[in-house]
Chains A and B, each alone.
Chain A
Amino acid sequence: MWIEASKVSEIAPGGLKSVEVNGEEIVLCNDQGTFYAVSRRCGHMNAPLDLGTLEGYILTCPMHHAQFDITSGEALSGTVPPDLGDEAVPKGLGRYLQYVGMLMAQIKTCDIKTYRVRIDQDLIKVEVDPAAR
């Protein structure tokens, strides 16, 4: 089922836009005039990918910087370790970060879902499965 998701003129080259289509959260990506649609949720920890950055065909998550190929949804990299700086971290916070770090090390970065896209004049249409909800 093809559903109108946005106008072409609303997404500049290199831009991202989140839309909800038939209950599915989707990010529309403009790679130099070619449009792609992927799941809005990161394959690592569900962060909103529309707040990330798009460099060519590579979408980077704003949360832990996992990267995805918008043409296939393939996860291209895992997370980047944070720089906590040289300042001493308060003891309680340090323990919490250590715990979160231990949990995060167990989380695999999965591929994200992609959707077929069709351009109809100024409209971007996305194909969604009506039975998917």
Chain B
Amino acid sequence: MKPGSRKKALRYFFQRVVDPLGYKFTPDEEMADFLLEQEVILEQKHGIPFCPCQGLTKNREENMKIVCPCIPFHREHFDAMKRCWCGLFVHKDVTNPDELPQIPVSQIMRKEG
């Protein structure tokens, strides 16, 4: 299995999931490629392409919430940031992903509360 082919396949599948959610791949191609490569490594190890920027637990149910693209499980948080946690996906209207910082979910909930 070639990592390049798997990256292309993941891109193909992810595109179909994130598009109806209002997201797209980050325009930062280098970053997208790097993150997808990490997912390929995680998939080779665990059989599942987990988010490369969130830690796995011993709880399968919790881990399933960070299978990429994990947007549906963290919608409120990601919509507030206009990006997913690791930045592989951004809102469709985003042109400069560097302007979108990571904001901890606790801060977002505090603002709304």
Interface residues of chain A, those whose CB is within 8 Å of chain B, are 55-58, 67, 69, 74-81, 83, 109
Contact = CB atoms under 8 A, between A and B. Distances in A.
B1 A109 contact: yes
Contacts of A75: 1
Given A69-B9, A75-B1, 8 more contacts: A69-B5, A74-B1, A76-B1, A76-B6, A77-B9, A77-B43, A81-B46, A109-B1
29 contacts: A55-B12, A55-B13, A55-B16, A56-B12, A57-B12, A58-B9, A58-B12, A58-B13, A67-B9, A69-B5, A74-B1, A74-B2, A74-B5, A75-B1, A76-B1, A76-B5, A76-B6, A76-B9, A77-B1, A77-B6, A77-B9, A77-B43, A78-B1, A78-B44, A78-B47, A79-B47, A81-B46, A81-B47, A81-B48
Interface in B31-67: 43-44, 46-48, 60
Contacts of A77: 1, 6, 9, 43
Contacts, number: 34
Nearest to B60: A83
B47 to A, nearest CB: 4
Chain A interface secondary structure, helix, strand, loop or mixed? loop
Interface string B20-35: 0000000000000000
A81 B6 CA distance: 18
A81 B13 CA distance: 19
Contacts of A83: 60
B36 to A, nearest CB: 13
A57 B46 CA distance: 24
Nearest to B44: A78
Nearest to A83: B60
Contacts of B43: 77
A55 B47 CA distance: 19
Nearest to A72: B5
B21 to A, nearest CB: 18
Contacts of A74: 1-2, 5
Given A74-B2, A109-B1, A80 B9 contact: no
